[in-house]
Structure 1
């Protein structure tokens, strides 16, 4: 009787373990599908341009063709495909700056915030600026806060640092770009976060641009309608970046 009871307990335990594992698997699959359903894909134009760049495992490289050029490591916005940023990235590369658009698990920089280190390790002779859109900017600033001496500058695209990514004690130059028709960026939080930025931070606002216009991936939930074309916003972004990067080179 005792052996039979022990066998029944073991079988019950196995069934419970199998049930738990199956449940975790189902939840994981559902979560993965939901994330993919809510991911913003690049426009056809952006996809075509990105295909001209060098695709690596964890990033897309837009080469300037210049030896030891200043590099820009970019963290995409949350749930936005990296190819969405190819239009301005190509223009920056043509201006003489290498651009590395990072890839993240599930398109979420929060899942691999230190991925910029991979680029720095591969190119120890090169200087880098970090940049990020929305959630990507928050994660990029955290990386700089943890590695203050290894980055030459920071650019925020409709983004800001949180307390963990505070740059107030950093001497690096910072550029913050927003858009007047951005319906996604929390303006109150953005203003409050200025306390974590250097006093000499440069602020630029794109008149008529919106949150999704920092890339090329269509309409984003909660965003306002832009009064300028995506092409025009991409051109303005490129101009602002090039002018600012020229002050560092």
Structure 2
């Protein structure tokens, strides 16, 4: 009887220790990711404060001038406010831009985040968009819900096989920057097999990976030869021009 009690007590201690270890790992990982998240520049943060915060996303309202909206998946570990400059520019042209909030700023943890926006706005047509890893996750959602999507925009990103849009019939825009040091260019070129033949490709001369948002320098990136304001301006114009043709 005594041995049975001792075994039971030992099992409880081991279980408790394991639970504590898992908790420490989860909390530690969360702190690490938060500390290493790229935060928006002061200018981007100021612009984002003029937008409408909703549970799960930030809305840059287009005043209903257009019936098409963009649902945007941010890049990995990039704060959503970082995309406010081009998002507000596109909104001024009449298009709603919904910048998603995802757990720990990792779109891979919430690949279906666009569903909430689309369910709340059933009368609006939607273009999915994403930066870097966010574009990969957005294209997976688009591939699985192509009948509900009107197009796809990749910012320094590309689809994988699960996000293949080759037979989707959707209009697609792919924008890159010449000084991007983060994008895997070999994989980017190989991924073109998953895109429609009519995909439009644009390149921002002198821009870099971090320049698709406004959050300062990114590890592994190359130095841009244009400033962030110029890249944001060119990016916004490219998106607006494409939207006007694609609708």
Gaps of 5+ in 2: none
In the alignment, structure 1 residue 29 sits paired with structure 2 residue 34: no
| Residue number in structure 2 paired with 1:194 | 192
- The C-alpha deviation readout for 1:94-140, integer Å capped at 9, x for no partner, is 00100000000000000010111111111111100000000000000
Runs of 4+ aligned residues of structure 1 deviating over 2 Å after TM superposition are none
Which one of 144, 150, 166 corresponds to residue 142 of structure 2? Answer: 144
Query: Contact conserved, 1:78 with 1:135, CA < 8 A, in 2?
Result: yes
Structure 1 unmatched runs, 5+: none
Q: Which residue of 2 aligns with 1:212?
A: 210
Equivalent position of 1:110 in the other structure = 108
Correspondence list, 1:202-241, <5 A: 202-241=200-239
Partners of 1:154 and 1:68 lie apart in 2 by: 17
Q: Which has the higher mean CA deviation after the structures are superposed, 29-38 or 185-194?
A: 29-38
Q: What's 2:120 paired with? A: 122
- Cα deviation, residue 34, structure 1: 1.2
Equivalent position of 1:69 in the other structure: 67
TM-score, L = length of structure 1: 0.98
Partner of 1:176, secondary structure, is strand
**CA distance in 2: counterparts of 1:47 and 1:198, whole angstroms:** 36
In structure 2, C-alpha distance between the alignment counterparts of 1:196 and 1:131, rounded to whole Å = 16
Kept after mapping to 2: 8 A contact 1:130/1:140 = yes
Residue by residue over 1:150-173, the C-alpha shift from the partner in whole angstroms, topping out at 9 and shown as x without a partner, is 100000000000000000011010
- Deviation at residue 6 of structure 1 after TM alignment: 1.0
**CA contact 2:65–2:94 (8 Å) conserved in 1:** no
The CA distance in 1 between the partners of 2:105 and 2:11, in whole Å, is 37
- List per-residue Cα deviations over 1:7-59 (Å, max 9, x = no partner): 10110001000100011111112111111121100000000000000001100
2:18 aligns to what?
Answer: 20
The correspondence of residues 48-67 of structure 1 with structure 2, limited to 5 A, is 48-66=46-64
For 1:6, the equivalent position in structure 2 comes to: 4
CA contact (8 A) 1:182 1:211 kept: yes
Correspondence for 1:46: 44
- Give the whole-Å Cα distance in 2 for the aligned partners of 1:181 and 1:247: 27
